[in-house]
Amino acid sequence: MFAKYRQAFLVGLQGNLVYRWNFAVRGFFSLFHLAVVVILWGAASEGRTELGGFSLNQTITYFITLLVLQFFISAFNEDYQISEEIRNGLINQFLLKPINYFAYRLSIFVAARLVSGLLVFLPLLIALPFLRQYLAFPAHAAPYAFGVPAMIMSAMIQFSIAYCFGMLTFWFLEIQGFVILSMAFETVLGGQMFPLDLLPKWAYDVAQWLPFYYQMYFPAAIFTGRITETSAILQGYAIQAAWVILLLLVNHALWTRGLRRHTAVGG
């Protein structure tokens, strides 16, 4: 049963290793982004000991964690790949074989993120002498233990959203506009521009109910000690799990409905 997806995973691993330089270069460019973060937030907290209750080092550690998470759990171009496969008719072969397209794609996603996630440590290691002075990770084990399940569910949310956008190809010829529009939301509400706890309280409360919060911010905030209360973490898990289930249902619905519109031509 799982053997075929293991094969897909291995193929994905090989396929992504081909692009190892591409990922490494992207990683190196993220260092420029990190430089912007250090300069901007450093200048903002000049003459102050804290910003929204956290020290400058904690804030920068948050952005470094975000960077690592991005390469480990974000969907990069899965939406476009799925879109291409639908447009080119490559999905036709999955309709004839006993293989689940979602599971197949997920296996490749896991392989791809394993490769890019490990590769991002390369530029980070090189920048370590410079970054070391800013690192302020929690000293005890609990945040890491709590963070891992959140991270796995975040990866599921990331992938499911990308899959949904890919499925839209059944209805629209071009999905790029939707993807970039949603990226703007993800960037802000996922906490990539600033840690969400800096938002006014009402906005933060609203953000907590949206899926974007659980795409990136939630695990990053646990890992870096910005969310510490067990009750808050458990509540977060519950909302996150609800979003995972909801998105999986939407994925399934889009797939079955999309297929009804799909016409396979040629052989």
**Interface with another protein (CB under 8 A):** 22, 25-26, 29, 32-33, 35-36, 39-46, 48, 51-52, 174, 177-178, 180-181, 184-185, 187-188, 193-194, 198-200
Whichever of 121 and 185 has its CB closer to another protein, that residue is: 185
Kindly state the smallest distance separating residue 53's Cβ from another protein, in Å. 9
Half-sphere exposure of 141 (CA within 13 A, CB side): 1
- Residue keyed to tokens 């190809």: 169
Minimum CB separation from another protein for residue 171, in Å? 13
The sign of the dihedral angle between the CA atoms of 159, 239, 220, 189 is positive
Q: Shortest Cβ distance from residue 183 to another protein (Å)?
A: 9
User: Measured from the CB of residue 131, what is the shortest distance to another protein in angstroms?
Assistant: 14
CB of 231 to another protein, least distance (A): 26
Cβ closest to another protein, residue 158 vs residue 192: 192
Q: Which is nearer to another protein, 40 or 232 (CB)?
A: 40
Which is closer to another protein, CB of 177 or CB of 266?
177
Using the minimum distance from each CB to another protein, give the nearer residue, 77 or 228.
77
